[in-house]
Structure 1
Amino acid sequence: MKTCRRTTDSRSVLPDDESLDNFPSVSTAEQSATTISVQPETTTGKSNVWVYFERSLAVGPLKAKCTLYQEDLLTPNYATSSLKRHLFQRHDLKQFASKEVSSPSSSSISVNLSKAEKQKLDSLAVDAIIKDSRAFGDFQKSGLKKLIDALRHGEFFCHRREELS
């Protein structure tokens, strides 16, 4: 009966009668010191942030070393979002700025309410949450905030029955 053993270098399972010499492997010490530089011509279809970073092939968490600051950054699955943020914030490279269109958040919409109106709305919100078993955060969502704001400003919506008559 053959027994299998797990090797630490190759992370593979080999039968006892096979030698590790048949399989190329890199020792743990060699892996921890190895970094590769990715050139732009080899990154077709890949992010251009790799021009500024070298991937570290060390055992453990995936990292990339910044070639400008010589700083190690974590890159889960070699994702580039943290690398882009580093290049934009630390090196002021504008081409790596976030391309997300920033719309004003729902919390930035200012609505002036009197203290009595605010207390009444708070009371109605708590009653609605308790009666309908809703989450307290439901009234912080942009859709409900817009609805409440529209109702407050008199933009009432007609019901379907009113449209038909």
Structure 2
Amino acid sequence: MTRPPYVSTVDTGVRELRAADHLLLELAAELALPEGAFGCTHLVRGDRPRVVLSFATTSEDTAPRLAAKGYGVTAGAPDGVGRAVVYPGSPELTGTLTIAELLARSAIGRVVVLGSSGAPPPGQSVVTRDHVRPQWQDGELVLTLMPAVGGVLVPFEVPDPTPCCADH
């Protein structure tokens, strides 16, 4: 599945990925994005590191609505490798699913498993932890998984990561 034609980037000044996810989900709900929309986070490096948001929709009214909220909005995506938070089928990716179910229910086009050269079998179980964040790679949404206890796979990104230096 490809991105819809109208893409807007929103720079909210957020510096943390978790806060960016929260804001993106909040904005997506407020905007009542049309079916088929995508909402992604993008890491911006350089002299002012931050996380920007992008929204891809089938309607050109998203950018003006975001600008009306006081955000800096530019046309287009900041890069081609956004991390998808909102995408077709994302609400359906909860609990334990097979690879085949995960692919059939969502816009994810492919899964890869860390440390594996081939694709996992369609019947392989994935424990989603209700947190599935694929990334755009060469125009396709790709979900990176990793092996877990019990012979299942889990998304590489954990829902509640331990902050760096949390034990200090």
TM range (shorter): under 0.3
Higher relative contact order (CA 8 A, sep 6+): 2
Structure 1 or 2: larger strand share?
2
TM-score (norm 2): 0.19
Higher radius of gyration, 1 or 2: 1
